[in-house]
Amino acid sequence: MRTDTLSYKYHYQAKKTDLFQVLIREQLGYFRRNDPSIKELKTGTTIETHLQTKLNKIQTENSMTIKNIIPNELFQLETTQQGGVIVQTYQFEQDHRGKERVVYSERNTFSESRSQMNFMVMGGLYKFFYNRGIKKRIQYLDNLALQNH
C-alpha cells in the first residue's frame, strides 16, 4: 500500500447488494443536502461544500465529485480542497477465504511537499483515529442494510 493511502477492511454481515444500495443512498443524501437538485449519483456528479482539513483542522471550500460507480463492486469519490486531493474508495471484494468484505481507502495527495511529509509523519497517529472512525461508519451502513431486509 502506498504511504499516502490509508485503508480499512471490514467483513460485513448484510447482503452485498443491500450494503451497496445503503452506501449510495447515504451518499446521495449528503449530496442532496448540499445541492437539492441532485436526483441520482453518477460519474461526474459534483457538489461544493465546506469541510475541515485533516491535519490543520481548517475549514475549507471543497469540491466533491463522483469518480466511479460500479454497482455492487466500487464507489469512488474525489474531494478537492485547499492544499490537495483525497480519493475515497469503497471496494467490495472477497478475502482469500472467499468471505465478503469492503475495503475503504483514502489516497491523499497534497499540493505542497511539506504537507505530504507532515501527513506521512503523522500517519501512524492519524491511522488509529481513522480506523476507529471508518469502522463506525461501515458498521452503521452494515446495520442499516441489515434493517432494510
pLDDT by 10s per residue, the chain, length 149: 444 578 899 999 999 999 999 999 999 999 999 999 999 999 999 998 876 655 556 677 889 999 999 999 999 999 887 778 889 999 999 999 999 999 999 887 765 555 555 555 555 555 666 778 889 999 999 999 999 76
Angle between helices 113-148 and 16-34 (to 10 degrees): 120
Cβ atoms of residues 5 and 110 within 8 Å: no
pLDDT score at 120: 54
- What domains can you pick out in the chain, each with its CATH number? 5-148 (3.30.530.20)
> What does R_g of the chain's alpha carbons equal in angstroms?
16
pLDDT of residue 111: 58
Distance of alpha carbon 124 from its chain centroid, rounded? 19
Provide the pLDDT for residue 2.
46
Neighbour-count burial for 56-84, b at 16+ CB within 10 Å, e otherwise = eeeeeebebebbebeeeeebbbbbbbebb
Model pTM score: 0.82
What is the tens place of the pLDDT at every residue in 8-24?
A: 999 999 999 999 999 99
Q: Are 95 and 86 in contact (CB under 8 A)?
A: no
* Residue 1: per-residue pLDDT: 43
CB neighbours of 100 closer than 8 A, spacing ≥ 6? 11, 12, 16, 92, 93, 94
Backbone angles phi, psi at 76, to 5 degrees: -135, 135
Q: Grid coordinates 467490495 are at which residue?
A: 92
